Structure formats: C-alpha cells, structure tokens
Amino acid sequence: MVTLSEENYLKAIYHLGKQGTLSVSTNAIAEKVSSKASSVTDMIKKLADKNLANYTRYQGVSLTNEGRLAAALVIRKHRLWEVFLVNKLNFSWDEVHEVAEQLEHVKSLKLVNELDAFLEFPTHDPHGDPIPDKNGNHSPIKSISIFDIDAGNQGILSFVKDSTDVFLKYLNKNKLALGDTIKVLDFEPFDNSLTIETKSQKMIISKEVAQNLYLSI
C-alpha cells in the first residue's frame, strides 16, 4: 500500500526529473513538497524499500518503473478530477488545483476509469497538461512557448506552464484562455516583451508571461 504522503513524494520526483527518469536532489524534493531535506531522506529510504525509487546515498533519487507508474496514476487522477470540476461543477481553472490535490488520493480503480468515461476520455486537463492513460502513458507536449515564436507567426493557446492561481487570474483578467488563437506581432529587445494579438484585442506581455504560454502551431 502506498500512503498519501508517499504518493506526494512520488509525484514530486516524477515532475522534477523527466517523469522520474532523471536523478533529482533531496533539496529539490524538499522544496516541492514543502518539507525539509532530512524528512525527504527518510521518505526516500522508504520508497526505495518498497521498490518505488532508486536511491544511493548522496546520489539523488529516480523512480523505478513501478514508482513511475504509481506516480503517473496519481497524476492521471489529479487531472481527471480537474476536468470534472471545471466541466461539470462550474469551477474555474484557478480554483481546481487544491481540491484535486485531495481527490487524487482516493483509491478505487473503478472510480478513475468510470470518471474517465463519464468525462468522455479527455486527453488534457484545464491547464493543457496531458492526462496519462491507465498504463501511465501520454502523448508528449508538442506545443512551444510564445517566447520562442517569431513575430508574424500564430498558434492556439494550448498549455500554461505555470498553473498557480495568481498566474491563472492574470490570464482571466486579460481575457486569455486555452483555445484562443494568438498571433505574435512584435518582439521588444529592450525588455524582452512581446506584442500579441487575439480575436478581441492587442496587448503587450512580459517575458515572464510569454515563457508560460504555449501555442500549438
């Protein structure tokens, strides 16, 4: 049995290294799960004992295949619940994360799979993140950051890298939503800002914002 706390560590390791394949540092994990390095060391040992993580002292951690699958299934639940909250319960995309953090730990295979079917097998969550399937696989993100797009080109906003509510609320305020067509009009070398255009408006966004908006072309 994997405990709630173990699931959160698995997620952290999965997200920090490329799906847990890269070795990640104790400190990075501590930061991610809001705990201390010493607590991480304790937990890592437990995960290694359960064959969920590969660990040798002072060398960082990565996930085993089993650990990677466990992590992906928690992430699958998290993202499915986010879709449910937005599509069925009138939550906005900046309100779902905290609740999904709780719902992702509910254990029932039937629940996940029926929820998946009820939502008509969504492939992405409300922030554009891909939803892993039953086997933990998902298509790689093929979108590209607006910051790396040349002036004159356009695409569809399909993923926001930062999904903290402060950033999402900025997007709400500025009427930018997933699915919007965005064209890059101009790049300003002085402060790295960009001028972009949507159906309804023309606006300037900072480098920080641009780096978190991903378009599919």
Residues that bind DNA (CB under 7 A): 3-6, 8, 25-28, 33-46, 55, 57-60
Task: Judge contact between 216 and 180, C-beta under 8 A.
Answer: no
We find the least distance from the C-beta atom of residue 117 to a copy of itself, in angstroms, to be 8
Nearer Cβ to DNA (57/199): 57
125 lines the binding site for Mn ion (CB under 5 A): yes
Applying the rule CB under 5 A, the residues between 128 and 187 that interact with Mn ion are 129
Interacting partner of 64 out of a copy of itself, Mn ion, DNA, none (Cβ under 5 to 8 A depending on kind): none
Nearer to DNA, 42 or 186 (CB): 42
103 or 185: whose CB is closer to a copy of itself?
A: 103
The nearest distance, CB 66 to DNA, in angstroms, is 17
Q: In the bound complex, what is the minimum distance in angstroms from residue 107's beta carbon to a copy of itself?
A: 7
Q: Does 11 bind Mn ion (CB under 5 A)?
A: no
- What is the secondary structure of the chain as a DSSP string? ---HHHHHHHHHHHHHTGGG-S-B-HHHHHHHHTS-HHHHHHHHHHHHHTTSEEE-TTS-EEE-HHHHHHHHHHHHHHHHHHHHHHHTS---TTTHHHHHHHHTT---HHHHHHHHHHTT--SB-TTSPBPP-TTS--PPP--EEGGGSPTT-EEEEEEES---HHHHHHHHHTT--TT-EEEEEEEETTTTEEEEE-SS-EEEE-HHHHTTEEEE-
Residues that bind a copy of itself (CB under 8 A): 85, 88-91, 95, 98-99, 102-103, 105-108, 110-111, 114-115, 118
Binding at 37: pick from DNA, Mn ion, a copy of itself, none (beta carbon under 5-8 Å per type) = DNA
